[in-house]
Amino acid sequence: MSFWRSRQGVGIVLIVLAALCFATLDTSIKHATRLAPVLMLLWFRYAFQALATLALRFPVQKFSLLATANPRFQLLRGVLLLLTSACSFLALQYLPVGEFTAMTMLSPVAATALAAWVMKTRVSHQRWLLLVAGLAGVLLVVRPGGQVFGWALLFPAVHVASYAWFMLLTGRLSGEENPYTTHFYTGLVGTLVMCPVVVFSWETAALAAHWPWFLLIGFLGTFGHLMLIRAFARASAPVLTPYLYTQIGFATISGWIFFDHVPDALAWLGIAVIAGSGVGNALLLSSEVNKPLASSPTAVPR
């Protein structure tokens, strides 16, 4: 029991809780998009985060919460996460929760390749092999004739690319910005960018009839990110990242319970390969000299 009271133990508990939040969020999104316009749900998710972070942290940090030395990076980071979330909200209208989650969990491995290309970070041969294995796992999930093959696969593809860039930028900001400041600006940027868009799909009747789903989506997204911040404040990414892949299990179980969907045999194999490549990448990360992503959250937020 002493381990679970240590900083690393608490960090692991928090990261699993964050994974559960994101899996529940995806399940809620899949259901809520049948009840209300997707753009309204997306706008509310970010508005809730901005207002909740301001309410919780401003009494503690005062105006330092708003102080940022990297406004352009904060803007770009917010736009990238908004794009990532938009792909999630749109994709979940058409794709099963478990398979979608498995595909998007390729993002941390893709960020490894991106770091090698953009930042000239040394990446071992083993990690390149894990990247190839992860791609092979995705092909098993999205193969022609499978349960999820179709045009909607464009959304998780864009999701993985945008989130890989988001991770690099988060690593760039992690040593320079207060995490709660970054959390606030992420919500604020998403809200402001969505304001002129959401006007065209606004339905007051949908908000009045289904407001608990709006609140649940906003809460789960915000709370999940707060758990990430607290987890990575207590333990390093190599310790925590393997536990992030519990999100695939949570999402697959919720897809079965709420939508009566079970992946087929080859999809199960692909999901296992994706998870294995991600966990292996995280374990190898701790043994490499150059670790630009080591301090950045590597979950797949919504």
Q: What is the pLDDT of residues 1-28, one digit of tens each?
A: 566 667 778 888 999 999 999 999 999 9
- The answer to whether the beta carbons of residues 127 and 284 sit under 8 Å apart is yes
How large a percentage of the chain has pLDDT more than 90?
43
Average pLDDT, the chain: 84
At 54, the pLDDT band (50, 70, 90 cuts) reads very high
* SS3 of the chain: helix, strand, coil, percent, to 5: 80, 0, 20
How large a percentage of the chain has pLDDT more than 70?
87
Structure tokens at 270: 């692909």
Q: Tokens 């789960």 sit at which residue?
A: 220
In the predicted structure, residue 299 carries a pLDDT above the cut 70? no
Q: Which pTM was predicted?
A: 0.85
In the predicted structure, residue 115 carries a pLDDT above the cut 90? no
- Cβ neighbours of residue 72 closer than 8 Å, sequence gap 6 or more: none
In the predicted structure, residue 291 carries a pLDDT above the cut 50? no
pLDDT for the residue 144? 67
What phi and psi values does residue 265 have, to the nearest 5 degrees? -60, -45
Amino acid at the residue 94: Y
Report how far apart, in Å, the C-alpha atoms of 173 and of each of 59, 68, 181, 225, 296 are.
24, 10, 11, 16, 9
In the predicted structure, residue 149 carries a pLDDT above the cut 90? no
